[in-house]
Amino acid sequence: MKKNVFTITILFLIFSLFYFGKCGNMLIDFSREAYIPYQINNGEKLIKDIFLIYGSFGYIFNSILYKLFGLNINILLILSHIISYIAIIIFYFISKNFLKENESLILTALFISASIFSNSTFSFVLPYSYSTLWAYLASYATFLFYLKKQPKIMFLLLGFILINKIELFILMAIFLIALEIKENKLKNIKDFSYILILPTINLIYFAHKGITINDTILNLYYIKEMISTNAIYSLYKSVGVYIQKEYLIQSLISFILILTILIISEFIYKKNFKYTSISIIILSLLFFNLNNLFNLCIILITYLSIFLFIKKRLSYKDITLIIFAIILNLKSIFKINPLCYTNFGYIFAILTLYVLLKKVTNKKWLLSFFLIFTTLITITNFKYNIKHKKYKTKLYPNIQLTKNDSILFDKTNEYILKNIKNNENFIVVPEGQIFNLIHKKPWNFYNSTFTPLDFETFKEEQIIEQLKKNKTEYIIFYPRNTKEYGAQTICYNYGVNFCTYIMDYYKRTAIIENEHKVLIFKINEK
């Protein structure tokens, strides 16, 4: 076991050195997460001054890190790597409850290469939401301590999920409380109170900061507005929250095709033609989008669970793992892969699938398949990152972007440094709080972006009124395709009245070009 933990650690360190700061898009995926802790340290309050979508812990904790170590983005990146390392170790120990050590090692390697260092927005090491990252880590830990029969710690961690991600808490709480009642018949009912410890501390924090019930109600009102927008529907549809007929048909075709190939491969393997069988696996996987193969997990898990349940070959522990995996992946259960929301939980669907397949397939063949799959997807991800190489920006080396983006980013920052005075403020639209962070400028808006989602949530008229009130000196239009929200370009597909106001009361002072254009406007002087 110690040898495997050492191997996992070395593997994680190798990936960390290669991928550090290179996952995701730091301008888009990371702006809010890096900027809000800075706002907190400058006297702004969550809920009251800053719209809070997720739980508060991640922002508060990161604000403390800024105070301790200074305003440095690398501090947050190091934190996300630490959280990720803890996650893989917890996963390894959970999987050991169901599999042999060598099998657990291979699945953990898959977790590292395909998920932790994913190229998607929903990354562990460049998280679009630290609260989500903490919540999923706590979910892994609650299940581990359930397996270890330590209910006090399990319920304490449930409270930690609550202050990070409420919807995940509700599902996990129903699941784990139901298990505890079934197994112990309310003998440890006092342990339930541990759920309230961390949320109580969180409420005390908000009370100390002067957050009122009215502030909370208004924040909840905007959350309600946000989840009913067309933009959120478009976004969730693209990441698989809503099932689509075309997607279902494609998944079923892929399922039948890959299942046929694997059945043939296993049959040949059993006939002692091992190398032929392995060659079939490799050749077949080369013709598939490996990330999309994860989408077949739930279909396979559903089929195998029903089949094994009828055959009475599912243990109680197997059933708990199946339910746990489904809960973690409910956010995008129809599109499970490392490139969408379920990147934070799909590895447990893989673990579940492996446990079920062991009951119906040749174990050596199964291990060979997963070893090959892990190797191929690791190579695929490395090739992707080499092809889409990130470059350190000249002015701010801890921010890494693609070559063209880094040039445009540097040119924009050079303009800001030369032309915007210390007593003048700016906003970058549709999304660019990272600029406010590195130049230590206030944002002064309740909304954190000017994407279609925020225009629908807070209403364009209110945003214009806020702009009038703030009298922000500079508006910087930075290129950002927002088609995932159902509207591609600000001023053309959305925010037209907002842009009209800017054209009326601001004058264009600069155009910065490098493949794309940055337009900079300054408020008209009286």
What's the average model confidence in pLDDT over 249-267? Answer: 78
Look at residue 158 and tell me whether its pLDDT is greater than 90.
yes
Bridge partners of residue 476, in order along the sequence: 428, 520
d(CA 211, CA 284): 57
Chain segment 88-99, per-residue pLDDT in tens: 999 999 999 999
How would residue 526 be classed by pLDDT, with cut points 50, 70 and 90? Answer: low
d(CA 365, CA 278): 8
Statement to judge: residues 84 and 195 lie in one domain: yes
DSSP for 36-58?
HHHHHHTT--BTTTB---S-SHH
Statement to judge: residues 294 and 181 lie in one domain: no
d(CA 377, CA 338): 11
Statement to judge: residues 437 and 351 lie in one domain: no
Statement to judge: residues 159 and 250 lie in one domain: no
Q: Record the tokens describing residue 149, joined without a space.
A: 């029969």
∠ CA(509), CA(512), CA(516), 5° rounding? 135
Structural domain includes residue 155: yes
d(CA 464, CA 501): 8
Q: Count CB atoms within 10 A of the CB of residue 472.
A: 22
Structural domain includes residue 384: no
How would residue 273 be classed by pLDDT, with cut points 50, 70 and 90? Answer: confident
Statement to judge: residues 9 and 153 lie in one domain: yes
Largest CA distance in the chain: 87
Statement to judge: residues 75 and 192 lie in one domain: yes
Structural domain includes residue 387: no
Statement to judge: residues 400 and 512 lie in one domain: yes
d(CA 433, CA 29): 11
Structural domain includes residue 376: no
Look at residue 410 and tell me whether its pLDDT is greater than 90.
yes
Statement to judge: residues 275 and 353 lie in one domain: yes
* Single pTM value for the model: 0.92
Structural domain includes residue 380: no
Chain segment 72-84, per-residue pLDDT in tens: 999 999 999 999 9
Residue 402: what pLDDT? 87
Residue 434: what pLDDT? 93
Question: Where among 342, 361, 380 does a domain terminate?
Answer: 361
Structural domain includes residue 372: no
Look at residue 315 and tell me whether its pLDDT is greater than 90.
yes
Residue 514: what pLDDT? 83
pLDDT, averaged across the chain? 90
109 closest CA partner among 344, 319, 376, 352: 376
Question: What type of residue sits at position 124?
Answer: F
Residue 290: what pLDDT? 76
Bridge partners of residue 475, in order along the sequence: 427, 521
DSSP for 279-346?
HHHHHHHHTS-HHHHGGGHHHHHHHHHHHHHHTT---HHHHHHHHHHHHHHGGGTTS-STTSGGGGTH
Q: Record the tokens describing residue 500, joined without a space.
A: 């009209």
- For residue 242, the 8-state DSSP code is S
The helix, strand and coil proportions of the chain, stated in percent and rounded to the nearest 5, come to: 65, 5, 30
Q: Record the tokens describing residue 1, joined without a space.
A: 């076991």
304's CB contacts (< 8 A; 6+ apart) are: 353, 356, 357, 359, 360
Question: Where among 361, 381, 404 does a domain terminate?
Answer: 361
How would residue 516 be classed by pLDDT, with cut points 50, 70 and 90? Answer: confident
Between residues 254 and 477, the one the model is more confident about: 477
What's the average model confidence in pLDDT over 204-231? Answer: 94
Statement to judge: residues 175 and 261 lie in one domain: no
Residue 96: what pLDDT? 96
Question: Where among 144, 176, 201 does a domain terminate?
Answer: 201
What's the average model confidence in pLDDT over 304-319? Answer: 92
Residue 491: what pLDDT? 93
Q: Record the tokens describing residue 16, joined without a space.
A: 């960390």
Look at residue 249 and tell me whether its pLDDT is greater than 90.
no
232 closest CA partner among 50, 452, 52, 461: 452
Structural domain includes residue 383: no
Question: What type of residue sits at position 110?
Answer: L
How would residue 362 be classed by pLDDT, with cut points 50, 70 and 90? Answer: confident
d(CA 220, CA 463): 18
d(CA 412, CA 15): 32
Q: Which residue has the tokens 């264009």?
A: 508
Q: Count CB atoms within 10 A of the CB of residue 97.
A: 15
Statement to judge: residues 308 and 195 lie in one domain: no
d(CA 235, CA 222): 17
Statement to judge: residues 85 and 16 lie in one domain: yes
Structural domain includes residue 230: no
Statement to judge: residues 490 and 357 lie in one domain: no
Q: In total, how many domains does the chain have?
A: 3
Look at residue 291 and tell me whether its pLDDT is greater than 80.
no
Look at residue 282 and tell me whether its pLDDT is greater than 80.
no
Look at residue 477 and tell me whether its pLDDT is greater than 90.
yes
Chain segment 369-388, per-residue pLDDT in tens: 888 888 888 888 888 888 88
Q: Record the tokens describing residue 128, joined without a space.
A: 């679009």
Residue 213: what pLDDT? 94
Chain segment 4-48, per-residue pLDDT in tens: 999 999 999 999 998 898 888 888 888 999 999 999 999 999 999
Chain segment 418-442, per-residue pLDDT in tens: 999 999 999 999 999 999 999 999 9
- Do 354 and 297 form a contact (C-beta atoms < 8 A)? no
How would residue 266 be classed by pLDDT, with cut points 50, 70 and 90? Answer: confident
Chain segment 237-247, per-residue pLDDT in tens: 877 777 777 77
Between the alpha carbon of residue 504 and those of residues 255, 460, 498, 523, the distances in Å are: 56, 16, 10, 9
Chain segment 479-511, per-residue pLDDT in tens: 999 998 999 999 999 999 999 999 999 999 999
Containing structural domain, residue 134: 1-201
- Do 509 and 412 form a contact (C-beta atoms < 8 A)? no
